[in-house]
């Protein structure tokens, strides 16, 4: 059980790397779906192990919003704009950014090590570093990618990473907070999706990384 959870965690962090380095924009969306499913699997395993119905609800909520609703929403809003789009010029070459992402994951692990020394069950030892790695590499993905949808997916990846850590360290956060947070993620996706569509209509492209006209000179 513990190892299945670790397997889900390992594959989770792989999908985060994929969001940093995958060229095809639709591919990033599929990776995000896989990532949310892995998060739900981890929540399910934790729920079975600790016997808490709460985590089952979280798993169901994750699948419902992040694996189904948000991708459907984004696809509906943006399929016209992102169809077959690929990022051709990156900020850094893909192997370099993958290497930096791997380094950042290790850095994230060392950030949370003092916390793990104090109090840790087997699940916290796996979920917390992986969640923190997801957050840090997600932030890196936002700075690296130039297209709008991968940047949005970077934000959602960070939220997924925070949840991944959260299901192990804060398993009995009031359900209202979990519901509200899920709702909040949905609104992020909705708002950003609508904004992307409007940008595409106005500016003609979704390469938001190139929009840098507001500067001092």
Show contacts with another protein in window 35-94 (CB under 8 A): 93-94
**Given the complex with another protein, which of 47 and 157 has the nearer CB atom?**
157
Least separation in angstroms between CB 86 and another protein: 11
Least separation in angstroms between CB 199 and another protein: 5
DSSP for 76-110 reads: HHHHHHHTT-B--S-SS-HHHHHHHHHHHHHHHHH
* Position among 26, 34, 68, 102 found at the interface with another protein (CB under 8 A): 102
Task: Provide the total of helices (H) and of strands (E) in the chain, helices listed first.
Answer: 8, 0
Would you state the structure tokens that stand for residue 24, as one six-digit string?
């095809």
Q: One symbol per residue from 8 to 37: x for binding another protein (CB under 8 A), - otherwise; what is it?
A: -xxx-xx--x---x----------------
DSSP for 120-164 reads: --HHHHHHHHHHHHHHHHHHHHHHH--SHHHHHHHHHHHHHHHHH
Least separation in angstroms between CB 53 and another protein: 18
Q: Does 173 bind another protein (CB under 8 A)?
A: yes
For residues 136-155, which are near another protein according to CB under 8 A?
Answer: 138-139, 142, 148, 151-152, 154-155
Q: Does 169 bind another protein (CB under 8 A)?
A: yes
For residues 110-129, which are near another protein according to CB under 8 A?
Answer: 111-112, 114-115, 118-119, 125-126, 129
Query: Which of 143, 127, 54, 137 has the alpha carbon at shortest distance from 102?
Result: 137
58 neighbors 170 (Cβ within 8 angstroms): no
**Given the complex with another protein, which of 71 and 87 has the nearer CB atom?**
87
Query: Which of 46, 63, 40, 32 has the alpha carbon at shortest distance from 169?
Result: 46
- Count other C-beta atoms under 10 Å from residue 122's C-beta: 14
* Position among 31, 61, 144, 181 found at the interface with another protein (CB under 8 A): 181
**Given the complex with another protein, which of 62 and 105 has the nearer CB atom?**
105
202 neighbors 85 (Cβ within 8 angstroms): no
User: Binding segment for another protein among 49-57, 63-71, 72-80, 162-170 (CB under 8 A)?
Assistant: 162-170
Q: Does 104 bind another protein (CB under 8 A)?
A: no
Would you state the structure tokens that stand for residue 88, as one six-digit string?
């051709």
């Amino acid at each position: 059980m513990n190892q299945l959870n670790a397997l889900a965690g390992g594959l989770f962090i792989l999908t985060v790397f994929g969001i940093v380095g995958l060229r095809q924009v639709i591919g990033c969306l599929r990776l995000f779906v896989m990532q949310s499913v892995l998060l739900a699997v981890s929540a399910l395993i934790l729920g079975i192990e600790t016997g808490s119905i709460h985590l089952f609800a979280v798993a169901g909520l994750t699948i419902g919003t992040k694996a189904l609703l948000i991708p459907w929403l984004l696809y509906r809003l943006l399929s016209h704009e992102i169809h077959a789009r690929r990022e051709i010029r990156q900020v850094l070459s893909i192997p370099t950014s993958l290497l930096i992402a791997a380094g950042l994951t290790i850095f994230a692990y060392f950030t949370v090590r003092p916390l793990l020394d104090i109090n840790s069950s087997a699940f916290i030892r796996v979920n917390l570093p992986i969640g923190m790695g997801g957050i840090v590499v997600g932030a890196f993905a936002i700075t690296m990618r130039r297209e709008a949808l991968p940047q949005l997916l970077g934000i959602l990846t960070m939220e997924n990473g925070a949840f991944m850590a959260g299901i192990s360290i804060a398993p009995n956060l009031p359900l209202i907070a979990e519901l509200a947070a899920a709702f909040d993620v949905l609104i992020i996706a909705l708002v950003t999706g609508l904004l992307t569509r409007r940008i595409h209509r106005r500016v003609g492209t979704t390469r938001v990384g190139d929009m840098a006209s507001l500067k001092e000179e």
